[in-house]
């Protein structure tokens, strides 16, 4: 017994030995919440207060459940495999298996994962003749799951317009199809289990009497139905019965970052009020980060008005100040980050202890480019490298067909994406015809007749039209035209995760814009084809970047990830990039209820991933949609105490401020003060001068940097071209 409590601090010990009544444990980042939760179970078992069968422990991931079981097995001599420790879905599945008849399910009911559920919805939509343009399958899936997670069946939804009525009708038909086939989706597991316990009083009372202690991890991530399920099992609102269940909830409202999944941090306040919890135990001692990092996180999160409130502290000392870097461009920012990473590794920091966090997946492209350039191995945690993402591979496949129509791999990938009614049988027939004729799939398409032949002919005409329309366009315009013309952009507009995929497609356009400048400067001449022009060279470049430097299993590499993916992780050194208004905080935060508060919690999570050293960076200009955009630094930077920050480079003039004033923009060089408008750059050119470019037309030089062969200028071309950086050696600008 003493060994269980020996190394616990006073608040941890108070939580572990809490009396037999409801409890809310406010556990800050790095405060040892998993240890407290596991030790609480071990304490209950070791003191003989309950047996293993009387404990229900709920987690959010299978990984967390396995870790809890592993730790518990090392602490007490109990067979943990028989205990009810698992995720919400896993525990509901277990309960439904035991009571399938009462739940109206076959004994061997099957569970649909998200991919299977989407396939089932597509099949039903086709049978019901639902227009997939008006009612995209992904949208129907989201509608069904969102309502199930709110505890609503089709008959309970208020259909306030014709579109909603049609979705409700589809939801009802989907329920009947699943019941007929004996299958349930993930959202159904929880809803069906909740309904079973709600209507079946003897069964409900059986489990209420069995589970005397209900322990919940990451309580801030619960949605409304999950909270209601817990209340039901705890007997909340029912006449008290002995011995009664105690709810022990561990969470951190400051780390609630999953509103898009339905998580409601307000559940913590509701729990405190509804279960009459008079004393909240706060775990505030942090065992992860140095003091300056924690002080910054504490000050930032205090800007959120509705909090239960806590203040993280550490016995480790203040540590280093937080480093802040301001670049002129996203490329400048990426180069700085990669240079710092290289120096850190040279100084002995393991690459696996260096993490780069960003708000949006699309930001990884320019960072990956720099990592590849310097040959530094990296790993995308919880996601795919930029050129491996589905939407990027689709777009590149269309571009490959423009460059080489005999590319069968590219043809097969996009011939029916977006869907064109070209099924598996049609593809099989096409492949057989291609083998017989000893030609490519593209050429063999003309050999098929009937409905398959008509559909394939339309696809071939689409490719030929795209090739003709883009024949004389510069590379960025080719990419933009193809993404639009092939239907990819329209397709992803209707998907739940469409905004992220569209952002990645826009980033592909940015990649093409940057590549055009670098290709023009002959940077890639030694490695890439020249016969096919910039398009062939760009496709080869994309393939090379896709095939290199992603670390293999067991290889040490720096870690790249979104802030959401970083939840629960920690690193010695953390970089947080792209700290600009509209990027982090995200532009959607301004239009969403409590959006800015959630973004601030996300920043809080990002900061508290760092143990020893933290970098914050932002850029004055960023390439978006193929054009340079001026941005303002994130408001989160202004919310941090200046005494905790160290500016790594002297503040440079804000490009946007000059650009809004008759193009009076100074030439900028790293770390140097700006020159006055009208100052010379090179070749008789100066800031504020109008120039002409053979491809982009007329514009005004608004900035310049570099020397010799590295000298380049930022030209604000007349609409619709906008701002572009050009290398002077190859731009051949004509003064006007």
Residue 670's pLDDT is 31
The confidence band for 541, taking pLDDT boundaries of 50, 70 and 90, is: confident
Is 528's pLDDT higher than 60? no
d(Cα 212, Cα 53) in Å, to the nearest integer? 9
**Mean of pLDDT values over 72-80:** 87
Residue 415 burial (10 A CB sphere; 0-12, 13-18, 19+): buried
Positions marked catalytic:
33-34, 217-218, 255, 609
Q: Predicted confidence band at 244 (pLDDT cuts at 50, 70, 90)?
A: low
DSSP per-residue letters across 110-159: EEE-HHHHHHHHHHHHHHTT--TTTS-HHHHHHHHHHHHHTT--GGGS--
- Indicate the pairing of strand 281-283 with strand 378-380: unpaired
Find the angle CA(431)-CA(435)-CA(441) to the nearest 5 degrees: 45
> Which pLDDT value is given to residue 662?
30
Percent of the chain at pLDDT exceeding 90: 46
315-373 pLDDT, tens digit each: 999 999 999 999 988 989 999 999 999 999 999 999 999 999 999 888 888 899 899 88
pLDDT digits (tens, 9 = 90+) for 611-659: 999 999 999 988 876 667 788 899 999 999 999 999 998 654 444 433 3
pLDDT at residue 522 is higher than 50: no
Q: What local confidence, expressed as pLDDT, does residue 461 receive?
A: 92
Predicted confidence (pLDDT) at residue 521 exceeds the cutoff of 70? no
pLDDT at 62 (0 to 100): 81
**CA-CA distance, 149 to 157, in Å (whole number)?**
13
Model-level pTM?
Answer: 0.75
The pLDDT-based confidence of 388 (bands split at 50, 70, 90) is confident
Confidence category of residue 23, pLDDT binned at 50, 70, 90: very high
pLDDT of residue 554: 56
Cβ partners under 8 Å of residue 361, min gap 6: 383, 386, 389, 500, 503, 504, 562
Better-scored residue on pLDDT, 683 or 404: 404
Closest CA to 222 of 214, 211, 210, 230: 230
| Position 11 pLDDT exceeds 70 | yes
Please enumerate in sequence order all residues whose Cβ is within 8 A of that of 56, keeping only pairs 6 or more positions apart, or say none: 84, 91, 211, 213, 214, 215, 233
CB-count exposure of residue 496 (10 Å: 0-12, 13-18, 19+) = middle
Residue 487 structure tokens: 């239907």
For position 524, what pLDDT does the model report?
41
Share of the chain above pLDDT 70, in %: 88
Residue 122, CA distances (Å) to 141, 174, 416, 504 in order: 9, 10, 15, 25
Quick one: tokens of 495? Answer: 């998907």
The string of pLDDT tens digits covering residues 117-133 is: 888 898 899 889 998 87
On average, the pLDDT of the chain sits at: 85
Q: Tally the C-alpha atoms within 13 A of residue 239's C-alpha that lie toward its C-beta.
A: 2
Residue (of 290, 410, 301, 308) closest to 24 by Cα position: 308
Residues 516-521: what's their mean pLDDT?
65
Mean pLDDT on 528-544: 69
Does the pLDDT of residue 172 top 90, yes or no? yes
Query: What is the Cα 597 distance to its own chain's centre?
Result: 18
Q: Can you give the pLDDT at residue 201?
A: 93
Q: How far apart are CA 726 and CA 715, in angstroms?
A: 8
> Measuring CA to CA, which residue among 300, 290, 355, 264 is closest to residue 574?
355
Selection from 348-352, 402-406, 680-684 with the highest mean pLDDT:
348-352
Q: What is residue 270's predicted lDDT score, i.e. its pLDDT? A: 93
């Amino acid at each position: 017994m003493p060994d269980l409590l020996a190394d616990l601090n006073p608040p941890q010990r108070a939580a572990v030995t809490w009396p037999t009544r409801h409890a809310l444990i406010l556990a800050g980042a790095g405060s040892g919440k998993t240890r407290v939760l596991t030790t609480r179970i071990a304490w209950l078992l070791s003191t003989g207060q309950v047996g293993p069968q009387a404990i229900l422990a709920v987690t959010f991931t299978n990984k967390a459940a396995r870790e809890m079981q592993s730790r518990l097995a090392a602490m007490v001599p109990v067979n943990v495999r028989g205990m009810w420790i698992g995720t919400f879905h896993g525990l509901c599945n277990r309960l439904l298996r035991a009571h399938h008849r009462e739940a109206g399910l076959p004994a061997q009911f099957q569970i649909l994962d998200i991919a299977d559920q989407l396939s089932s919805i597509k099949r039903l939509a086709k049978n019901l003749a639902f227009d997939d343009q008006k009612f995209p399958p992904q949208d129907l899936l989201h509608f069904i799951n969102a309502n199930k997670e709110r505890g609503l069946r089709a008959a309970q939804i208020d259909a306030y317009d014709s579109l909603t009525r049609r979705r409700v009708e589809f939801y009802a038909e989907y329920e009947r199809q699943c019941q007929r086939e004996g299958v349930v989706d993930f959202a159904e597991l929880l809803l069906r289990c909740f309904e079973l316990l709600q209507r079946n009083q003897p069964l409900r009372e059986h489990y209420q009497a069995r589970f005397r202690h209900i322990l919940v991890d990451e309580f801030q991530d619960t949605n409304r139905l999950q909270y209601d399920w817990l209340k039901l099992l705890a007997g909340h609102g029912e006449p008290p019965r002995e011995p009664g269940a105690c709810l022990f909830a561990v969470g951190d409202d400051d780390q609630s970052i999953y509103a898009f999944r339905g998580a409601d941090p307000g559940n913590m306040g509701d729990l405190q009020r509804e279960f009459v919890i008079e004393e909240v135990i706060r775990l505030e001692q942090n065992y992860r980060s140095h003091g300056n990092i924690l002080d910054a996180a504490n000050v930032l999160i205090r800007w959120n008005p509705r909090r239960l409130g806590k203040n993280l502290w550490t016995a480790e000392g203040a540590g280093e100040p937080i480093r802040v870097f301001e670049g002129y461009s996203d490329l400048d920012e990426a180069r700085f980050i990669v240079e710092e990473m290289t120096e850190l590794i040279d100084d002995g920091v393991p690459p696996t202890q260096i993490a780069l966090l960003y708000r949006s997946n699309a930001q990884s492209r320019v960072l990956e480019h720099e990592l590849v350039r310097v040959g530094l191995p990296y790993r995308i945690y919880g996601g795919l490298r930029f050129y491996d993402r589905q939407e990027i591979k689709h777009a590149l496949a269309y571009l490959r067909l423009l460059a080489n129509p005999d590319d069968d791999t590219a043809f097969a990938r996009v011939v029916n994406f977006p869907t064109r009614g070209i099924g598996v049988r049609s593809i099989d027939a096409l492949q057989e015809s291609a083998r017989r004729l000893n030609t490519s799939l593209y050429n063999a398409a003309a050999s098929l007749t009937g409905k398959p032949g008509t559909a394939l002919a339309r696809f071939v005409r689409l490719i030929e039209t795209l090739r003709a329309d883009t024949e004389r366009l510069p590379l960025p315009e080719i990419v933009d035209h193809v993404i639009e013309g092939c239907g990819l952009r329209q397709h992803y507009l209707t998907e739940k995760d469409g905004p992220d995929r569209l952002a990645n497609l826009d980033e592909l356009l940015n990649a093409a814009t940057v590549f055009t400048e670098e290709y023009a400067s002959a940077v890639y001449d030694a490695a890439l084809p020249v016969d096919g022009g910039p398009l062939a060279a760009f496709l080869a470049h994309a393939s090379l970047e896709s095939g290199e430097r992603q670390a293999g299993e067991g290889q040490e590499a720096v870690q790249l990830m979104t802030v959401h993916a970083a939840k629960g992780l920690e690193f010695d050194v953390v970089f947080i990039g792209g700290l600009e208004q509209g990027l982090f905080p995200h532009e959607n935060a301004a239009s969403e209820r409590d959006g800015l508060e959630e973004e601030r919690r996300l920043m809080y999570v990002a900061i508290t991933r760092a143990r020893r050293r933290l970098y914050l960076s932002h850029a004055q200009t960023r390439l978006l949609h193929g054009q340079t955009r001026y941005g303002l630094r994130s408001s989160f930077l202004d919310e941090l105490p200046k005494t905790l920050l160290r500016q790594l480079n002297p503040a440079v003039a804000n490009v946007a401020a000059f650009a809004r004033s008759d193009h009076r923009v100074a030439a900028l060089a790293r770390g140097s003060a700006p020159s006055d408008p009208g100052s010379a750059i090179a070749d008789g050119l100066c800031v504020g001068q109008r120039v002409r470019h053979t491809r982009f037309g007329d514009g005004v030089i608004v900035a310049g940097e570099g020397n010799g062969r590295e000298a380049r200028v930022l030209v604000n071309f007349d609409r619709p071209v906008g701002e572009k950086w050009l290398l002077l050696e190859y731009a051949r600008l004509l003064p006007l």
